[in-house]
Amino acid sequence: MGAATYVGRVGGLAVALGIGVAIASGAAEAAAAPSDSSSSSATAHHAGSARTSSAPSAKADSAKASKVAQTITARPTALIRVGATGAVTKVRTPVDDSPAAPADNPVTLALAAASRRESVATTQRTLAAAATEVTAAAEPATPTDVVAIPQTPPLAFLQHIPVLGPVLFTPIVAFIHQIPVFGDILHPLFGYPVPPGTSPNAAQPRDVKVVSFDGTEIYVHFMPATGLQNGVPAPTILDGPGLGMPGQTSIYGSVLDGVFTNALGMPSILALRNAGYNVVTWDPRGEYSSGGTLQIDSPDYEARDVSAIISWLATQPEVELDGNPADLDPKIGMVGVSYGGGIQLVTAATDHRVDAIVPTIAWNSLNTALYKSQSFKSGWGSILAGVLIATLARTNPKIIPATIYGDLTGMLTQADQDLLAERGPDYLLNQITTPTLFVEGTVDTLFTLQEANANALALLDKGVPTKVLWFCGGHGVCTNDLFNTDGVLIEKRTLEWLDRYVKGDASVPTGPQFEWVDQRGQHLSSVSYDLTPAAPVVATNTNSRVLHMVPFLGAGGLLGVLPIGSSRALNALNLTTPAVTTTTYVVGTPHLTFTYSGTGSGNHLYAQLVDNSTGQVLGNQVTPILVTLDGTEKTASVDLEMVAQTLKPGQKVTVQLFSSSASYRAVGAVGEVTVSNMQLSLPTVDPSTVTINAA
């Protein structure tokens, strides 16, 4: 790819960065089909049960069986799952729960129809060219005879010019690699910096294009562990990039490593290398220097690309193996955020050579993340589509039209929902036996805590070694603790997890099974992800009140537009809890019920929780609530988005019910709703089971 093309990509990405996408989010995709909010149950945080986990399945390869053949000890009685909402049962094809067309403004519907016609036309024009990749592939198998094409950067020779190279060009190349994204985009032109005095026996970084199962070339970067010498193998970590991001190449670190670790839960390449790991990154299918069509971390495509990379790594002299070299089975783990988190789950489900994974701010189902309660998350949908367009990604031709349609109508068609459902990983989780550390952000408004929770419950139910860590970060802004240092804890726990399950060092402790950081930056933990409940905080109001539905007048995101924050709603019905009398840990899934009747053009209300002492929205989280405004009285019973909040004596929380949100559909509705019998229940944890400052 020529220099002009790379410069063009930098300009396109700058547009995305200008709207706070690439750095604020690390970018990603979304998750599964929601239940009707008016009839959804809320049993998990009210009822506990005694149970014992069964031992996990052994890995397919007997050489690795000892790493996962563990039995999780019996859990105490009278416990609650963190925000559990019942059994986790997923199928690959979702139930047809698409909503009826909403009564909407004629202008909106006309625009949507025009968009859909253009979308269909676009799809028809491009589908033939992409047919070989859109068609579902055969079931993945361990690739053999993998072809890797060495890549030589056209300007790499500059660093080897006598005197001038090390004095002038090497510092320039090193500086370029200090700049995240920009340096990665220019990397194919310059290659890695060559520090003066490098030992001739040192293992060398290199780039190749691994040819995947369908002939697609995947651009791969191999960066050996710090100080690794030729002929001395080391375990390897695959580090997947976020959506719209190229594979990282900052072999000696970047100026924003600490910022990314704190905000996104992203351990740096240098930290992994210094811990004794080779680090491998890549441009995902359909992006930057890799070929093919982006399919959103599909088990039939992107997961098989990673399997091809793993097979290639098993042939490299610097890569430590598990057992017989003929098995192409390296000692390997995976890390990565957002899109780089999703690929870990689908890969671990389809390729049991992976020894450990640390999916960070990832999803359980793209439908539940983007289409919760049949309300399209237009704020994030627009950003993600904008990233793909700005970075010139070559995507499945159905993705962008679905986003445009969702933005204009607030809906996804059943075909669009099916497309997202096929990507998983929800229906694949029963195939995972890999020890897994889930890292999720309490202020993540794209992939909320509920996404990681559903993943964790599925693996815990199978007895897979599992740990959960919540931090103040993710796809959102940590407004409560702007100078948080959560990355220190994340990096420590990540390295411990990898040392335990990739290096196989059973003496390494991995900390409590559940750790979280509250809104004040305080580290807390529980020895079990099954939390022992205390009495819930309950608020009730039986009065009848009227909510006037006004477009755009609701809970705003950052600057009133971006969905990475939230603020107190101006036009809302409020219900405030009594002041707590002792320190209270609100952790899990709040529950809201109310009776309503009304008329209007909309089919959703929204709810959020506000800390009365600060005026800030708990976790910046907004929950859509599906309603039917046909003039008859109905009852809504809904689980709100999960939160982790510590209340001091005297503090109160207010639930707000409103009609318009920046996080969801941009076009608000009009009408009037009468609400009565509001009741809020906040789940709390027995303080005697909580350890403070666990870090």
Domain match, 339 and 273 both? yes
Among 481, 511, 526, the domain-final residue is: 526
**Mean pLDDT across 63-81:** 36
- Same domain membership, residue 512 and residue 537: no
Is residue 506 assigned to a domain? yes
Average pLDDT, the chain: 81
| pLDDT tier at 242, thresholds 50, 70, 90 | very high
27 has a pLDDT exceeding 70: no
* 103 assigned to some structural domain: no
Please indicate, yes or no, if residue 80 is contained in any of the structural domains: no
Let me know whether 579 and 480 are in one domain. no
Q: Do 349 and 429 form a contact (C-beta atoms < 8 A)?
A: yes
**In one letter, which amino acid is 462?**
K
Q: 526, 543, 572: which is the final residue of a domain?
A: 526
Query: Quick check: is 115 in a domain?
Result: no
- Please indicate, yes or no, if residue 219 is contained in any of the structural domains: yes
More confident residue, 57 or 227: 227
Q: Are residues 548 and 480 in the same domain?
A: no
- Residue 339 belongs to domain with CATH number: 3.40.50.1820
- Determine the pLDDT at residue 484: 67
| Same structural domain, 538 and 457 | no
Give the pairing type, strands 466-471 and 514-517: parallel
pLDDT by residue (tens digit) across 432-455?
999 999 999 999 999 999 999 999
Domain extent at residue 560: 531-692
Q: Are strands 80-81 and 530-531 parallel, antiparallel or unpaired?
A: antiparallel
Count structural domains, the chain: 2
pLDDT at 18: 34
User: By three-state DSSP, how is residue 171 classified?
Assistant: helix
Mean pLDDT is lowest, of 184-193, 571-580, 656-665, for 656-665
Tell whether 602 and 515 lie within a shared domain: no
521 and 556, same domain (yes or no): no
H/E element, 608: strand 604-611
Q: Does residue 112 have a pLDDT over 50?
A: no
Tell me: the pLDDT tens digits for 612-660?
A: 999 999 999 999 999 999 999 999 999 999 999 999 999 999 999 998 8
Structural domain contains residue 285: yes
pLDDT tens figures, 256-286:
777 777 777 788 999 999 999 999 999 999 9
- Is the model's pLDDT at 684 over the cut of 80? yes
Give me the pLDDT at residue 60, please.
Answer: 36
Is a pLDDT exceeding 50 seen at residue 355? Answer: yes
Question: What is the CB neighbour count within 10 angstroms for residue 223?
Answer: 29
487 vs 695, more confident: 487
Q: Is 378 within 8 Å of 354 (Cβ atoms)? A: no
Over the stretch 532-556, which tens digit does the pLDDT of each residue have?
999 999 999 999 999 998 877 666 6
| The model's pTM | 0.81
More confident residue, 366 or 18: 366
- Strand-pair partners of 540: 679
Domain boundary among 526, 557, 575: 526
pLDDT at residue 334 in the model: 98
pLDDT digits (tens, 9 = 90+) for 414-431: 999 999 999 999 999 999
Per-residue pLDDT band for 3 (boundaries 50, 70, 90) equals very low
Q: Could you give the angle at which helices 378-390 and 399-409 cross, rounded to 10 degrees?
A: 150
> Is 55 among the domain residues?
no
147 and 265 inside one domain: yes
Which residues, in sequence order, are CB contacts of 320 under 8 Å at separation 6+?
233, 234, 235, 236, 330, 331
Residue 133: pLDDT above 70? no
Quick one: pLDDT at residue 44? 36
Cα–Cα distance list, 36 to 42, 83, 96, 579, 641 (Å): 13, 18, 12, 32, 15
CA–CA separation, 636 and 655 (whole Å): 15
pLDDT for position 56: 34
If asked whether residues 465 and 562 sit together in one domain, one would say no
Contacts of 424 (CB under 8 A, 6+ apart): 92, 297, 299, 345, 346, 349, 365
Would 410 be classed as within a structural domain? Answer: yes
pLDDT, position 153? 97
> How many angstroms from the chain centroid is the CA of residue 604?
25
Instruction: State whether 227 and 184 are in the same domain.
Output: yes
- Whether residues 569 and 669 share a domain: the answer is yes
For residues 355-374, give the mean pLDDT: 96
The token pair at 430 is: 């029963």
Q: What is the DSSP code string of 517-575?
A: E-TTS-EEEESSSEEPEEEEEEEEE---EEEEE-TT-SB--BTTTBTT-----SS-EEE
The pLDDT of residue 256 is: 77
pLDDT of residue 558: 53
Looking at residue 486, what is its pLDDT?
79
Q: Is the pLDDT of residue 66 over 70?
A: no
Domain harbouring 638, CATH code:
2.60.120.260
Give the span between the Cα atoms of 552 and 427, in whole angstroms. Answer: 36
Checking if the pLDDT of 198 tops 70, the result is: yes
Q: Are residues 453 and 574 in the same domain?
A: no
